[in-house]
Amino acid sequence: MARSSAHSASVLHDIHQRQRADGPAAMLGIGTANPTNCVLQDQFADWFFRVTKSEHLAELKAKTKKICDKSGITKRYFYHTEEIISGHPELINGALPSLTTRLGIIEDAAPKLAAEAATRAIADWGRPAADITHLVVATNSGASEPGADLRPAGLLGLRPTVRRTLLYLHGCSAGLVALRVAKDIAENNRGARVLVACAQAELLLFCPPDESRLDVVVAMTLFSDGAGAVIVGANPASSPMAMERPIFHMVSASQTTLPGTDQAVVMNLRENGLLDSHLSVEVPTLVQGSINKCLADTLAPLGLLNASDGGWNGLFWALHPGGGAILDSYEAALGLEPGKLAASRHVLSEYGNMMGATIIFVLDEIRQRRRRCHDDGKDCQWGVLSGLGPGLTIETIVLHVTDSQDEN
């Protein structure tokens, strides 16, 4: 009996080892997409108050313009247009039910955006879509099942056997959560190729200005629509027929929820059809007081926090640009040199905050900057991918960049 038990344990161990990858997961392709409707930030207040029939709120409109001027954003993209809004008066009248309308619009928008970004990521990867074994979709836009995972799978021509995971309402950290899940899948399933797609269509947030809710106005000046996609896999193929070039290796992933902050970032779907998103003004202060220890706890066990190598400035940084104040809090707390967050600030300027999709835009921007040799962090091989989510939760992924991408 003892011999039989030992044999079974040995067989189980061997099966387990054969199922797992030999190395860390890597990002093998990146793609992004935005709707065609672009609104310049210096024209947003005029557009917003016009389409919501709120131009009589002259003082609030003036405040909105000032917020836009200080946002660090130059333009944003939206799926919803003036025509869509005018065709659905319930979108700007809180007394009318609008959930069915909003979900109907974004259930079409989010999958299309996700599929467009995924198509570009697959092309960047260089292998057929049929080689994808797993699909992880994260979105804050939707509340249905089948949802925003099944539709893109059909649009992309993925196999019926593709294993799907759908993540809802992880806020700004949605992209990092999806990448963390993909890392675990890739490293524990030999040969797995995981498509991560994050799509944001902010129609669930959209509402007319309210003089009693300045935080709502701030949200309207910050959030936007877009999608990002990443192909994740371990043990990159090196044959001429299936050459894969790792962009970033995903070395470790962690999640920390700050005690006593469960009301700092909140997202709730309300009866009137709105996704009530609350971001406490204390979030930048909370981050500044906690991020140093949080990141140290993540990097120190890896031996990557070395003062002689420049400390925090010896790394490259891919931070989710939740807003200018959030980036400032990271910069101040970590003592980062000017330019370390240039990629995040650039994405915020060009696209606004696309929630979970934004971090994929930042990763792509860092890759492009390294290729153009414009990035102060080009000599840094190790980096930090980080963002904030409801909780207040800090997601962190440690990255290692590969030389092959720099040579392209």
Residue pLDDT, tens place only, 145-162: 788 899 999 999 999 999
Claim to verify: residue 202 and residue 272 sit in the same structural domain: no
3-class DSSP assignment, residue 229: strand
Catalytic residue among 68, 172, 198, 380: 172
Whether 243 is in a domain gets the answer no
Claim to verify: residue 52 and residue 136 sit in the same structural domain: yes
> Confidence band (pLDDT; 50, 70, 90) for 71?
very high
Of residues 346, 394, 121, the one with CA closest to residue 247: 121
Whether 1 is in a domain gets the answer no
Residue 274 has pLDDT above 70, yes or no: no
**Over the stretch 259-268, which tens digit does the pLDDT of each residue have?**
877 777 777 7
**C-alpha to C-alpha distance for 195 and 175, rounded to whole angstroms:** 12
We report the CATH number of the domain holding residue 219 as 3.40.47.10
**What domain range is 330 assigned to?**
248-406
Whether 18 is in a domain gets the answer no
Distances (CA, A) of 63 to 78, 180, 232, 281, 312: 22, 39, 43, 17, 37
What pLDDT, on the 0 to 100 scale, is given for residue 407? Answer: 43
Q: Specify the higher pLDDT residue, 106 or 34.
A: 34
Whether 17 is in a domain gets the answer no
Query: How many domains is the chain built from?
Result: 2
Whether 9 is in a domain gets the answer no
Is residue 207 part of the annotated active site? The answer reads no
**C-alpha to C-alpha distance for 124 and 153, rounded to whole angstroms:** 18
**Over the stretch 152-193, which tens digit does the pLDDT of each residue have?**
999 999 999 999 999 998 889 999 999 999 999 999 999 999
Claim to verify: residue 144 and residue 253 sit in the same structural domain: no
What pLDDT, on the 0 to 100 scale, is given for residue 292? Answer: 85
